[in-house]
Structure formats: C-alpha cells, structure tokens
Amino acid sequence: MKHLSGNFTSLLLFFIIVFSSCNSYKQLPYLKDAGEISPEILSTSVHEAKIMPNDIISITVNSTVPGAAVDFNLPLVPTNLSSPLQTTIAPSTANSGGLQNYMVNKDGKIDFPVLGTLKVGGMTTNEVQDYLVSLIYPRYIVEKPIVNVRFLNFEVSVLGEVNKPGVYNSQNGQITIFDALAEAGDMTIYGKRDNVLLLRTLESGETVMYRINMQDKNLLKNENIFYMQQNDKLYVETNKAKGNNSSFGTMQSIGLSALSIIVSVISVVAILTR
C-alpha cells in the first residue's frame, strides 16, 4: 500500500512539473492563433506615417528643365553663418545624403524657399510631395517638378526586458511594433508579453499610454498600435517569475533550481522502476 502511495505521489509530482512547464511555454508565443485572421483583412490598408512637430525632413525639388528648380532648394549655408531667423533649417550631414533639412516647428510648419511658410504637420510624405508640386507647377515652372520628401529622424525607443534596449531609427518612416522588438533583440523570457506599455506623444503635445497584449492576434488589425509613430517609447515590464526570483539571493535561487531538478529526476526514476 505504501509502495502504491509512493508511486502515486511521484506520478503526481511528475505531472505537476510537466503541466507547469507547458503552462510557462504558453506565456511565450506572440499572436496566438494568428492564422485564423483572413489575409484580406490584413491587406486592406497601407500605413503611412504623419509628419509631426520637431520632425526633421529632407525635401528636394528637381526638374527636367535645367536650372528651373534651383530656387526651390536650400543653399548650402554653414551653420555658423546662419542668422537667428533660420531656425527651421539644419545643415547637411552624412546621414542626410548631402542634403539640407527642414525642422518642423511646434505648429507643424516649415519655411520653404520661394513659397514661404507651409503647414506640413499631419501630412504624409507623399501628401507633402503632391502639395509642393501643386504649388510650384504651373505657376513657377512649365513642367511638373520631381519632389522627394523623407524622414531623417524617425526614431523609436525600446526599454525594459529586451536583449538590446536602445533607440532605433527607421530609414523609410515605417516601423511595426515587431520590427522595433526585433531591433532590440526580442524580449527576454522574463518580459510580460500580455501587458507591454506604449507611450506616444500626439501632434498636440499630449502624451497617451496604451497597454498592448502581444499575444492577441487582433493586434495585427489595429493599425494605430501595430505601426509605431516617431518618438514612440515601448516598455516591456518584468514578469512575476523574475520578480519572485529577485526576492531571493543568488544562492537561494540556485538551490531552488537544483531542488526542482532533483525532484523531477526522482519522480521519473520512481515511475520507471515501480
């Protein structure tokens, strides 16, 4: 009877350990059951980032007519020679491809050669391109100009339980929440996947907070969250497992781990030799 009781106890411990391991694994995957979402739903929209105050953008205007677009591009003026009024113009850098840049002010405006002060905040880069073409052609030149607009400081920050926390830049002005995590080396096993914090500064200057469940398949359909905006800050909190471990010393943690392994081995051996 005692032999049966001992076997039963060992078997019970074995199943408890196996169940705990399986339960822990269930907390790790992203986007559970994502295959159930229709591909048509995921391809219904194309995300384009909006220009915000304090963004730095490059704008170039070209034309097939020689010299026609020269006046619509900034002259290369050294920073130390710029007057105090030229606060919206930043000098060219290696990262900007040799082009001078425009800084969007708090009202979403830039000072543009010939055209004057323009409101570009809230527009996408494609919308700004079309807007500039409409202002320049045919009033100033006889052929449609080629206008190129791109972000130069589209950055997001990833903090907390990730392998490489830091600030990451997007060259094309588009970065998803998974792109940001990939740049940061993914979450550690101690990161809370069902309660990630996203801090976002709106065009009005207000900061809003979102709580994100990275395991929820519906995240793929939430464009406002799935695609990050410039200056977003993503914070991955520590889960209970690490929090509980931190309340013990190093030796206590090692002891508990060793004890868990010993119990597992004894349980398996007892089952096999009964």
Shared-domain flag, residues 41 and 127: no
Instruction: Report the distance separating Cα 103 and Cα 155, nearest Å.
Output: 15
Phi first, then psi, for residue 191 (nearest 5°) are -80, 140
Shared-domain flag, residues 144 and 158: no
Residue 2 binned pLDDT confidence (cut-offs 50, 70, 90): very low
Q: What is the mean pLDDT of residues 220-228?
A: 91
Q: What is the mean pLDDT of residues 150-168?
A: 96
Structure tokens at 5: 């009781």
Whole-Å CA distances, 11 to 14, 18, 39, 85, 256? 5, 11, 45, 79, 20
- CB 221, CB 211: distance < 8 Å: no
Shared-domain flag, residues 38 and 174: yes
**pLDDT higher than 90, residue 230:** yes
DSSP 50: P
- Amino acid identity at 272: L
Shared-domain flag, residues 202 and 264: no
More confident residue, 177 or 100: 177
**pLDDT higher than 50, residue 113:** yes
Shared-domain flag, residues 40 and 21: no
- CB 59, CB 120: distance < 8 Å: no
The residue segments making up the domain with residue 111 are 56-151
Shared-domain flag, residues 167 and 196: yes
- Amino acid identity at 239: N
Shared-domain flag, residues 16 and 61: no
Q: Kindly report the CATH number assigned to the domain that includes residue 119.
A: 3.30.1950.10
- Amino acid identity at 24: S
- Amino acid identity at 149: V
**pLDDT higher than 80, residue 262:** no
- CB 237, CB 56: distance < 8 Å: no
Instruction: Report the distance separating Cα 208 and Cα 206, nearest Å.
Output: 6
Residue 27 binned pLDDT confidence (cut-offs 50, 70, 90): low
Shared-domain flag, residues 98 and 38: no
User: Global pTM?
Assistant: 0.69
Shared-domain flag, residues 147 and 64: yes
Q: What is the mean pLDDT of residues 85-91?
A: 37
Q: Kindly report the CATH number assigned to the domain that includes residue 221.
A: 3.10.560.10
- What integer pLDDT is reported at residue 271 of this predicted model? 60
Q: What is the mean pLDDT of residues 123-146?
A: 96
- What percentage of the chain has pLDDT greater than the value 70? 65
Number of other residues whose CB lies within 10 A of the CB of residue 232? 20
Residue 171 binned pLDDT confidence (cut-offs 50, 70, 90): confident
Whole-Å CA distances, 257 to 59, 262, 271? 59, 9, 22
- CB 199, CB 207: distance < 8 Å: yes
Given 108, 124, 151, the domain boundary residue is 151
Given 113, 134, 151, the domain boundary residue is 151
**pLDDT higher than 50, residue 252:** yes
Shared-domain flag, residues 43 and 82: no
